[in-house]
Amino acid sequence: MRRIVAIIADTHAGHKLALCNPATVWEDEGADGERTWSGPTLTSTQQWLWERYTEHIRRAMEFAHGDEVTLIHNGDITWGVKYPEQLVSSRIDVQPTIGYYNLLPWLTEETVRTVRLIHGTPSHEFGMGSSNRQIGSMLRMAFPDRDIGTSLHLLATVDGVGIDVAHHGPSGGIRIWTAGNQFRYNLRSIMLEDMINARRPPRLVVRSHYHCFFHETVRIPTDAGEIASEMMMVPGYCGFSHYTVQATRSAYRMQCGVVCIEIVDGVFRRIVPFVDALDIRTKEEL
């Protein structure tokens, strides 16, 4: 039996530089009090993200090749209101509406049977995973035949393979020559803590928040044989706002993507990323 786990994160619905399904509609009220319907006008960044997103979904489903898919959204499904610049709308309900529409392309695939929405940064999700809970409720009403739920920190078992999923974790590193160090230290610590407490470490550990793809492997020898775990960071689907540029010290490589995990007959086989990047610097001849 073959199972696929597809993981996305940081879609930040509600921001003008974040993922937005062009088919999204929300209810408004006209000047005469009559009900009207509004939808987004996509920015160039949103257009690029949506094109890449739909292509990544197509490639992920092609990779699944009809086998069952579990979708995990690993946090920051909306933008929130702490940083209100460049919001699509000042209305709070618009953000989960866009978040709901962003996930619809996955749910229209019959092989996507299970969905888990992981809580992210409180300032982006209106506190206590509120956006996730609301979008999860909307999806359950629209797709009652699917297994849809939310979690703060998920320890899942997929056909016997343990997967630890949470939004926050270590960064990939701030220097290219130290890339991976913090990831390996953190993963080794997780593994050793489980081993000390007589638990088998998860085969995979998944984190997000830093909007880039990263993957490391740690192997620990034991008397019973080697124990190996993988740790990966999942990229987001959000452009760089002025706040992001400041927080990342002017990073300029914007990544987006879906990362798939392949499990065959209860054994982890491989990680398959579908990732694109865009250099956002202004290029001029002066």
Q: Give the CATH number of the domain where residue 107 resides.
A: 3.60.21
Is the pLDDT at 10 greater than 80? The verdict is yes
In this structure, are residues 85 and 79 in contact, taking their beta carbons and an 8 Å threshold? Answer: no
Residue 56 lies in a domain: yes
User: Cα–Cα distance between 56 and 68 in angstroms, integer?
Assistant: 17
Q: Is the pLDDT of residue 180 over 70?
A: yes
Q: What confidence tens digit (pLDDT) does each residue in 145-157 have? A: 999 999 999 999 9
> Is residue 31 over pLDDT 70?
no
At how many degrees (to 10) do helices 94-107 and 44-64 cross? Answer: 30
pLDDT of residue 179: 84
Number of independent structural domains in the chain: 1
Q: Please report whether residue 87 resides in a domain.
A: yes
Q: Where are the beta strands (DSSP E) in the chain?
A: 2-8, 26-29, 35-38, 68-74, 112-118, 147-151, 154-158, 161-165, 204-207, 214-220, 227-233, 253-264, 267-279
Please tell me the predicted confidence (pLDDT) of residue 185: 95
- Could you tell me if residue 284 is inside a domain? no
Question: Which pLDDT score is estimated for 247?
Answer: 73
Phi, psi of 59 (to 5 degrees): -70, -35
CB 40 within 8 Å of CB 17: no
Mean pLDDT, rounded, for 206-217: 94
pLDDT at 34: 72
Q: pLDDT tens digit string along 101-130?
A: 999 999 999 999 999 999 999 999 999 999
pLDDT of residue 32: 72
Model confidence pLDDT, tens digit, residues 55-74: 999 999 999 999 999 999 99
Asked if pLDDT for residue 13 goes beyond 80, the answer is: yes
**Residue 285 within a domain:** no
Question: What's the whole-model pTM score?
Answer: 0.96
Please name the amino acid found at residue 146: R
Range of the domain at 275: 2-279
Q: Identify whether 96 is part of a domain.
A: yes
Indicate whether 286 belongs to any domain.
no
Does any domain span residue 78? yes
